[in-house]
Amino acid sequence: MSEYIFTCTNGIEIPVLIESRRGMRNITIRPKITGEREIHISKPFLISESRALKFLESKRKWVENIFAKAPQKCTLCDGDEIEFLDRHVYLQHCPHAHSNELVMNDNGTWTLRVGGGADMFERRVRDVIKAELLKSIKEIIKSTPREFWPARIALRDTSSRWGSCSSTGTMSFSWRLAFAPVPVMRYVVMHELSHKKHMDHSPEFWHQVSELYGFGVERAKRWLAKEGASLHKYF
């Protein structure tokens, strides 16, 4: 895999990773806006890297627009406040604590007490958020008929897919759904559960989604399409 640099018109430099793949007929470009920002290019073996870079240059306006719309990353520190799973959470660093603790306050807000060194603060906050999301997803799944239950649940950090369902019965979800309103997160879960019966997006599939979700499914769907990029604000 080769690495180059794509320099935006505003001077920001983004690494470009080029990979040759067998069986490909066309060049594909995939901007990555989560974690370290990168541009991934896949190309057929017979197409040169210089030609792939020229193709990237021809798509400059589209690529820059994606990175311009992507939310700026926010670093989390002691004393910050965040929202996840419809909870307003205060972050408190407790360096001498050996574990993390999420407690509900008298006023209905929450405090997340994070143990360990400052260099591990964000990682430990993320771990708690992922654990809480997994619990919520399992609770939602248990509210549906057993025939829809997956064989396994996995959390991923994907930039373009909020969920997926494999033919083996494993369902994967983006852990960033924790930052979405719970009804929106629930929509993604019901979407993937519906794939247990329909491995497509046929009218029958969408009818199944609506049946599992109930009233408000279209509203949740629209929110995700419009506001989904905001879920990548942190980490």
56 and 141, same structural domain? no
In the block, tokens 């050996």 appear at 98
Give me the phi and psi of 67, to 5 degrees please: -70, -30
Q: Residue 173 in contact with residue 155, Cβ under 8 Å?
A: yes
134 and 33, same structural domain? no
Q: What is the pLDDT of residue 70?
A: 78
- Residue 75, domain member (yes or no): no
Sign for the CA dihedral angle at 118, 100, 183, 88 comes to: negative
SS3 84: strand
Tell me: the pLDDT tens digits for 188-227? 999 999 999 999 999 999 999 999 999 999 999 999 999 9
Neighbours of 94 (CB within 10 A): 15
218 and 115, same structural domain? yes
Q: What is the pLDDT of residue 115?
A: 96
133 and 185, same structural domain? yes
Q: Residue 40 in contact with residue 1, Cβ under 8 Å?
A: no
pLDDT for residue 35 is more than 70: no
Tell me: the pLDDT tens digits for 144-183? 999 999 999 999 987 668 999 998 889 999 999 999 999 9
- Residue 74, domain member (yes or no): no
Of 69, 96, 114, the one marking the end of a domain is 69
109 and 57, same structural domain? no
107 and 202, same structural domain? yes
- Residue 102, domain member (yes or no): yes
In the block, tokens 């180059």 appear at 4
- What are 124's two structure tokens? 């430990």
CATH of the domain at 98: 3.30.2010.10
140 and 205, same structural domain? yes
Q: Which of these ranges, 19-23, 108-112, 176-180, has the smallest mean pLDDT?
A: 19-23
224 and 112, same structural domain? yes
Tell me: the pLDDT tens digits for 40-82? 999 999 999 999 999 999 999 999 998 888 777 789 999 999 9
Give residue 204's region: left, alpha or beta (phi > 0; psi -120 to 50).
Answer: alpha
- Residue 129, domain member (yes or no): yes
- Residue 135, domain member (yes or no): yes
What distance in Å separates the CA atoms of residue 126 and residue 132, rounded to the nearest whole number? 10
- Residue 62, domain member (yes or no): yes
Query: Rg of the chain over CA atoms, in angstroms?
Result: 21
31 and 135, same structural domain? no
Of 69, 91, 110, the one marking the end of a domain is 69
Number of domains in the chain: 2
Residue 219 domain boundaries: 81-232
What distance in Å separates the CA atoms of residue 217 and residue 235, rounded to the nearest whole number? 29
